[in-house]
Amino acid sequence: MQELRELAKKLLLEGTVKVVIGYAEGRRGVLPIFAVTPGEAGRLIFDPRCVQNLATYLSPRREQVVALGRPAVVVKGCDARAVAGMIRESQRSRDDLVLIGVRCGGVLADPVSAVEVSEATVAARCPGCDARVPKHVDHLVGPLPPAPPGTSALDARIAELEALSPGERFAFWRSELEKCVRCNACREICPMCFCVRCVADKAQPQWIESSPHARGNFAWHMTRALHQAGRCAACGECERACPAGIPLNLLNRKIARVVAERFGYSASGDPESPAPIGTYRPEDGEEFIL
């Protein structure tokens, strides 16, 4: 903790950055803060309650954050993947950012009620994580906590869904997606949803109906999921933000797996590795093209 605070103070005092985006204690759990003075940097913390992916605040759409000046941002391994994605897709320049990596032992599924990571409290995406030490960062702080215990409940659930017939699977997703109220929280919080104008907001022509009925909800969620193929940082923020409790992490992880199988690619913290969505290779499979 002290290491993080001292580093943030130093970066601010020497003028390397104008703001440190990090975590601090709030009235009700951990909050993102934008520390612009060394005093505020003294509030920074990192622990398993720090679930938020702060890379989202680096989006050029966040004009008021951009206006604060050159940022340093505290990133977990999954968050660093999102930063790499934003650099890869030309949203930010690597030179404009200072990345403070934090070693991570998994975060909590419910950071307001729980404090310690255990098999019962850990976020479903964390067990099996291969990015507990963020790569391609400028500074790395904190000791490496033990690996998150257990295996991912997401993998078990995906296996269950894969075992269903297409009809049963469709029924499952229909019952989940009918809960959607189309608030767009999943989109607004996603660091990879940086489009100035989202396809879902286009009205002429209207590709995706804005009504929260089955047709509109399926159109939106299929579009969102496919636009994330090979891009999703697997930070789980969309599911955390969803007021309807839709298990979006299942879709994200399944699609990431398909991309890994088909294209040998997984979103990583390396901003230089070309992603399938913007790359053509002669050996890419094309047997699905009629």
Partner 1 sequence: MTREMHISEPDLRVLAEDLVRGGTRLIGPARPPGKDGAVVYREVKGLDEIVLVGDPPARSLKEFFLPPTEVLFTYRQKQGDVELAPAPHVFPPQVVLGARPCDAAAVSVVDKVMDWDYHDELWFGRRQATTIVSVACSGGDASCFCTAVGLAPDVAKGSDVLLVPVEGGFHAEILTEKGEVFVAAHATRFAAGGRSEAAMAYRAAARGKAEANLRADPAKIRAFLESSFEHPIWEGIALRCHGCGACAFVCPTCHCFDIVDEAESVATGARRRNWDTCQAAKFTLHGSGHNPRKGQDCRIRQRLMHKFAIYPGRFQEILCTGCGRCVRICPGGMDLLEMLDRIGREPAAPGEAGRGAP
**Interface residue list for partner 1 (CB under 8 A):** 26-34, 52, 56-57, 63-65, 181-185, 187-189, 201, 206, 209-213, 237, 240-243, 245
Give the C-alpha separation, 42 to 285, whole Å: 52
CB of 83 to partner 1, least distance (A): 17
CB of 22 to partner 1, least distance (A): 11
Largest CA distance in the chain: 62
Measured from the CB atom, the residue of 21 and 126 that comes closer to partner 1 is 21
Give the C-alpha separation, 133 to 51, whole Å: 16
CB of 172 to partner 1, least distance (A): 12
CB of 33 to partner 1, least distance (A): 8
Q: What is the dihedral of CA 104, 110, 112, 116, to 10 degrees?
A: -50
Q: How many CB atoms within 10 Å of residue 234?
A: 21
The alpha helices in the chain, defined as continuous H runs, are 2-13, 38-41, 63-66, 77-88, 153-162, 166-177, 185-188, 214-227, 237-241, 248-263
Measured from the CB atom, the residue of 27 and 146 that comes closer to partner 1 is 27
CB of 244 to partner 1, least distance (A): 8
Give the C-alpha separation, 209 to 190, whole Å: 21
Measured from the CB atom, the residue of 53 and 268 that comes closer to partner 1 is 53
Report CA-CA distances (Å) from 274 to 11, 40, 173, 247.
31, 38, 32, 29
CB of 141 to partner 1, least distance (A): 22
User: What DSSP assignment string belongs to 2-61?
Assistant: HHHHHHHHHHHHTTS-SEEEEEEEETTEEEEEEE-SHHHHTTEE-STT----GGGGGSTT
Measured from the CB atom, the residue of 93 and 210 that comes closer to partner 1 is 210
Measured from the CB atom, the residue of 70 and 262 that comes closer to partner 1 is 70
Measured from the CB atom, the residue of 156 and 181 that comes closer to partner 1 is 181
Measured from the CB atom, the residue of 57 and 263 that comes closer to partner 1 is 57
**How do strand 29-35 and strand 139-141 relate by DSSP bridges?**
unpaired
CB of 253 to partner 1, least distance (A): 19
**How do strand 19-26 and strand 44-45 relate by DSSP bridges?**
antiparallel
